[in-house]
Amino acid sequence: MAEITMIQAINEAMRQEMERDERVIVLGEDVGTNGGVFRATDGLLEQFGDQRVFDTPLAESGIIGTSIGLAVNGFRPIAEIQFLGFVYQAMDQLAAQAARIRFRSAGRFTCPIVVRSPYGGGVRTPELHSDALEALFTHSPGLKVVMPSNAYDAKGLLIAAIRDEDPVLFLEPMKLYRAFRMEVPEEPYEIPLGKARIVKEGEDVTIISWGATVPLVAKLAAEMKAQGVDAEVIDLRCLQPLDIDTIMQSVEKTGRVMIVHEAVKTNGFGAEIAALISERALFSLSAPIVRVTGYDTPYPVPSVEDDWLPNAARIVEGVQTLMRY
């Protein structure tokens, strides 16, 4: 098995699916000749030609809106939104059109598109490049929302997303694109959408996270073990559909819950998880649920983003608070 980065795994997933199924096409800004601003689509134009890989006009609504028509008429488009902060320009086409084609046609039409987009902070981008907007789309019935945290998952989840009959928003933490390498099988494989991964088993506290923050949480959990706190770490991998069973089993075991995400706190997806846990397992809890998240401001300027993001100090403090109960 080769050791590759997440961006290579994403590239491999697309290449292999395009080889397997000629209906799979790629479109977006700079995805062709340039191979994507992060090189996610590198080499695809050369291998598959300009009838399957399209450098589109610069228009987010256009990219997603035409993908809908392409999908309904037989293709399986993978559309790239260059940075997630630009998705606001395509909100209608993604949340109100793609997500609802199946519903609006009472099942006659489906919309098998994947919208890939880098998201997440810590890499000193300009304004509106780093925002974590996943909650907007878990609030849009009909969409699936996938957020991998490593190369292995990224490949398996992306292949599953491409093969899925429903529109999938596939959010790639840009900070992790090249942060580390891991062994990834060369052959194609699927990781089912809606199945969380237990990163580390533990008895004392459940830490639920996804996407960009998972490696930090995993690292801190390993360090805490040495200090006597045995945390269970869950990487959700997919917010819609949500693996509620894995969450509940862990919560019932540990009785303490921390949720870590990059997006702003109010109405973040962490709030949904906290509500689900309180509906289902309030009396299993030994302490109030703690959330460590971005603050309720627009994503900040580079000089202060490390303090804004959920960082080691805030996560450790959150666990200490939970353990005091």
The footprint of other proteins (CB under 8 A) covers 25, 51, 56-57, 59, 61-62, 64-75, 92-93, 96-97, 101-110, 141-142, 144, 164-166, 194, 240-242, 244-245, 276
Q: Which is nearer to other proteins, 82 or 130 (CB)?
A: 82
Residue 58, Ramachandran bin (φ over 0: left; ψ between -120 and 50: alpha; else beta): beta
Token pair of 264 as six digits: 């702003």
Sheet holding 76-80, edge to edge: 53-55, 24-28, 76-80, 114-119, 168-173, 144-146, 238-240
Give the nearest distance from C-beta 166 to other proteins in angstroms.
5
Q: Which is nearer to other proteins, 67 or 209 (CB)?
A: 67
Give the nearest distance from C-beta 167 to other proteins in angstroms.
10
Contact between 147 and 237 (Cβ < 8 Å): yes
Give the long-range contacts of residues 103-110, CB within 8 A, separation 24 or more. 103/141, 103/142, 109/72, 110/71, 110/72, 110/165, 110/166
Of the listed 116, 129, 144, 291, which one is catalytic? 129
Q: Which is nearer to other proteins, 184 or 274 (CB)?
A: 274
Other CB atoms within 10 A of residue 305 CB:
17
Known active-site residue 139: no
Strand, helix or coil for residue 166? coil
Give the nearest distance from C-beta 286 to other proteins in angstroms.
25
Q: Which is nearer to other proteins, 104 or 219 (CB)?
A: 104
Give the nearest distance from C-beta 20 to other proteins in angstroms.
18
Token pair of 118 as six digits: 């880098």
Helices (H), the chain: 6-20, 44-48, 60-72, 91, 101-104, 134-138, 151-163, 214-226, 244-254, 269-281, 305-308, 312-324
Pick from 37, 46, 40: which is nearest to 14 by CA? Answer: 40
Q: Which is nearer to other proteins, 68 or 214 (CB)?
A: 68
Give the nearest distance from C-beta 102 to other proteins in angstroms.
5
Report, as residue numbers or ranges, the catalytic residues: 129
